[in-house]
């Protein structure tokens, strides 16, 4: 636990298990945009344990079920930013689970490739 980490200070969750928890994103890009976060303070996904990865995956599937029930999405984006060059701004690993709807952007083809402008379309 880090005293300076915003995620380490949280104590109210949507879902949790022994090793991870889920919150809604403070700055959502879609209704129900959620974050799956390990309880242990660790900056990079690749430094999480296999147990933490499984715990995060379990909660990603559970929050997906909630998003389906509450928002009726047509699809999902799931992603993790690892490192400053990849856009990570809070250095406590977190997995984005973003519900998507037809028409929420003009042409979503290429999906997560859009993190690099001009590379989404191929």
Residue 81 tokens read as 């930013």
Active site residue 94: yes
**How many CA atoms lie within 13 Å of 88's alpha carbon, on the beta-carbon side?**
18
Catalytic residue among 33, 41, 92, 94: 94
Q: What is the pLDDT of residue 12?
A: 95
Q: What is the pLDDT of residue 111?
A: 74
Kindly state the DSSP code that residue 55 receives in the 8-state scheme. Answer: H
Q: Which domains does the chain have, with CATH numbers?
A: 15-115 (3.30.428.10)
Q: Which residues in the chain come in under a pLDDT of 70?
A: 1-2, 113-114, 119-121
* 116 vs 86: CA distance, rounded Å: 10
Q: What is the pLDDT of residue 120?
A: 65
Q: What is the pLDDT of residue 107?
A: 76
Q: What is the pLDDT of residue 106?
A: 83
The answer to whether 56 touches 75, Cβ cutoff 8 Å, is no
Q: What is the pLDDT of residue 58?
A: 98
Only one residue has tokens 């998003």, namely 67
Kindly report the pTM of this predicted structure: 0.92
Q: What is the pLDDT of residue 121?
A: 67
Classify 36 in phi/psi space as left (phi over 0), alpha (psi -120 to 50) or beta.
beta
């Amino acid at each position: 636990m880090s005293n300076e980490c915003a995620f380490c200070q949280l104590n109210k969750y949507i879902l949790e298990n022994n090793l991870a928890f889920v919150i809604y994103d403070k700055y959502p890009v879609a209704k129900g945009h959620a974050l799956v976060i390990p309880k242990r303070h660790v900056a990079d996904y690749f430094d999480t344990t296999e147990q933490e990865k499984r715990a995060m995956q379990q909660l990603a599937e559970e929050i997906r079920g909630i998003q389906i029930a509450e928002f009726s999405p047509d699809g999902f984006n799931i992603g993790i930013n690892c490192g400053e060059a990849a856009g990570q701004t809070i250095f406590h690993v977190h997995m984005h689970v973003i519900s998507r709807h037809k028409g929420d952007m003009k042409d979503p083809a290429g999906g997560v490739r859009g993190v690099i402008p001009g590379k989404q379309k191929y």
